[in-house]
Structure 1
């Protein structure tokens, strides 16, 4: 179980680093401050952009943190 614990801790530290970097830039960590997300495209779908559900399309970290604090 040591390997699983190590990988879990490593993944958590990467996520914390991503959140800290996004906070310093003032960007939403899910959409990188763009305000929209483009879903994965395959041969059966058409690429459309959708507002980021985490920051409600604003791209700001403050909106992301307020929507994730619930």
Structure 2
């Protein structure tokens, strides 16, 4: 159990560090500030995109944080 707890703690610290970096830059942590997610297909060259549900497509950390805390 000690190893699993150590891995979980390390993963949590990594996530918190990433959130702090994105907050400092003012970017949405889900889409890295792009406002959308790209989906690549291995069968077709074309790729489609979808608005980021975390920030509603704005790419801003404040919008992501407001939607997360609703």
1:3-22 to structure 2, matched below 5 A, reads 3-22=3-22
Which SS does the other structure have where 1:58 is aligned? Answer: coil
Structure with more of its chain in strand, by fraction = 2
Q: What is the match of residue 32 of structure 2?
A: 32
> When the two structures are superposed, what TM-score results if normalisation uses the length of structure 1?
0.91
Q: Tell me, in whole angstroms, the C-alpha distance in 2 between the residues paired with 1:52 and 1:37.
A: 6
| Stretches of 4+ aligned residues off by more than 6 angstroms | none
Q: What is the match of residue 2 of structure 1?
A: 2
Instruction: Check whether the contact 2:40–2:48 (CA below 8 A) recurs between aligned residues.
Output: no
Which ranges of structure 2 fall in alignment gaps of 5 or more residues? Answer: none
Q: What is the match of residue 48 of structure 1?
A: 48
Structure 1 vs Structure 2 CA RMSD: 1.5
